[in-house]
């Protein structure tokens, strides 16, 4: 009799633990869904009401493109970009430069997908931090976050070199759509990349 009671209590404990785990997972999923909706609503409201000088912190780095003119040779800027991608473990998908009829160089570097978030438990929060506007997917579960860069480099007639680049975010949603989605970055990662390039120009110059 005592043995049966112990077994029964053990079974009840397992059932309770299982139900609690399921409940916790459902609550977490519900919370993330509510956060996605709130994030989207805040963005839509801000897009209509905010004045340029009143942008929220998450949008203070946003630009249509990121650009700088350097008093450095084309080759130094070019190698600094490649080193900056290598620093974050990001492969190059495409690179090509050419010389025009006047002898000035110009070229393009495109990165592969640079992964900055992995795992369904933390990816959504990281994506929120770096997004201008995320896709609204009710009940969605994001399992990775990535950015890819496109750099344009051009040698000017005065000997300076003009750099401009953009970044695009993407991520895989694994519960509702089961596919990769693409959207705009809020500029935080691009600003970090520009600072990294400036730092690496000094290093490359002295090699």
Q: pLDDT of 122-131, one tens digit each?
A: 999 999 999 9
* Range from 46-60, 98-112, 154-168, 188-202 carrying the lowest mean pLDDT: 46-60
Domains of the chain, by residue range, sit at 2-53, 61-205
**Maximum Cα interatomic distance, the chain, rounded to a whole number of Å:** 97
Beta carbons of 113 and 98 less than 8 angstroms apart: no
Contact 183, 128 (CB under 8 A): no
pLDDT per residue over 5-60, tens digit each? 545 556 555 555 545 454 455 555 555 555 555 555 554 444 434 455 566 777 89
- Domain 61-205 part of CATH 3.10.450: no
- This prediction has a pTM of 0.76
Which residues lie closer than 8 Å to 183 by C-beta, 6 or more apart?
131, 132, 133, 134, 135, 168, 169, 170
How confident is the model at residue 44, as a pLDDT? 46
Q: Judge whether 60 and 151 are in contact, CB under 8 Å.
A: no
What mean pLDDT value characterizes the chain? 84
């Amino acid at each position: 009799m005592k043995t049966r009671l112990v077994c029964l209590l053990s079974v009840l404990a397992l059932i309770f633990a299982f139900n609690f785990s399921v409940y916790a997972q459902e609550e977490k999923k519900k919370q993330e869904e509510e956060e996605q909706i709130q994030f989207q609503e805040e963005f839509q409201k801000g897009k209509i009401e905010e004045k340029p000088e009143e942008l929220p912190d998450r949008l203070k780095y946003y630009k249509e493109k990121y650009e700088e003119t350097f008093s450095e040779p084309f080759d130094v800027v070019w190698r600094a970009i490649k080193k900056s991608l290598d620093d974050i473990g990001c492969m190059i998908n495409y690179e090509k430069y050419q010389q025009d009829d006047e002898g000035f160089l110009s070229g393009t570097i495109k990165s592969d997908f640079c992964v900055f978030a992995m795992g369904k438990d933390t990816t959504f929060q990281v994506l929120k931090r770096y997004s201008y506007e995320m896709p609204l997917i009710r009940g969605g579960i994001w399992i990775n976050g990535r950015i890819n860069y496109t750099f344009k480099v051009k040698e000017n007639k005065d000997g300076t070199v003009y750099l401009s680049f953009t970044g695009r975010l993407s991520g895989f949603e694994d519960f509702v759509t089961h596919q990769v989605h693409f959207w705009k970055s809020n500029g935080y990662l691009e600003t970090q990349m520009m600072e990294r390039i400036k730092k690496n120009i000094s290093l490359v110059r002295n090699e």
